[in-house]
């Protein structure tokens, strides 16, 4: 399984000139902790809830509080390797990029679910019973 198989839909992004409070509202609405920042389709970085809250002005723009992620991966990145990298870098979510275009975000929970489906000892059906 590859990273592209795990990207969440819909992809929620913000622009660098959006207000940080708008980005934080989107994260709340969609249950996210990080959003990719995109300008004219090109990935620029990420904005986090913590980043939105540390703005040094009353209404900061995303470009003032965004950062570069610790880790990004390509769509063909292997899920097992992705889990190892996420653990090593201590990140909970990773942007998946194809060239400089963001195609999605993968969370550690997405990866754990994928790995557990592939492990017959952990496979659980929808009722919560071992398969």
Low-confidence ranges of the chain (pLDDT < 50): 121-123, 125-127, 129-131
Q: What is the pLDDT of residue 120?
A: 54
pLDDT of residue 115: 84
Kindly report, residue by residue over 41-69, the tens digit of the pLDDT. 899 999 998 888 875 667 789 999 999 99
pTM for the structure as a whole: 0.81
* Token digits of residue 55: 């703005």
| Helix ranges (DSSP H) in 7-107 | 20-30, 49-53, 62-65, 79-89
Phi-psi bin for 40: left (phi > 0), alpha (psi -120 to 50), beta?
left
What is the per-residue pLDDT for 131? 45
The per-residue b/e assignment along 36-45, b for 16 or more CB within 10 angstroms, e otherwise, is bbbeeeebbb
pLDDT at 128: 52
Look at residue 54 in the predicted model and tell me its pLDDT: 73
């Amino acid at each position: 399984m590859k990273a592209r198989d795990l990207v969440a839909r819909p992809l929620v992004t913000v622009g660098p000139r959006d207000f940080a409070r708008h980005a934080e509202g989107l994260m709340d609405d969609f249950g996210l902790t990080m959003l990719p920042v995109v300008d004219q389709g090109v990935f620029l970085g990420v904005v986090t809830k913590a980043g939105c809250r540390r703005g040094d002005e009353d209404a900061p723009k995303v470009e003032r509080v965004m950062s570069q992620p610790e880790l990004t991966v390509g769509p063909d990145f292997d899920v097992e390797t992705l889990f190892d990298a996420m653990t090593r870098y201590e990140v909970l979510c990773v942007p998946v990029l194809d060239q400089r275009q963001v195609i999605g975000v993968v969370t550690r929970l997405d990866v754990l679910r994928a790995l557990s489906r592939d492990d017959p000892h952990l496979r659980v059906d929808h009722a919560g019973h071992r398969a």
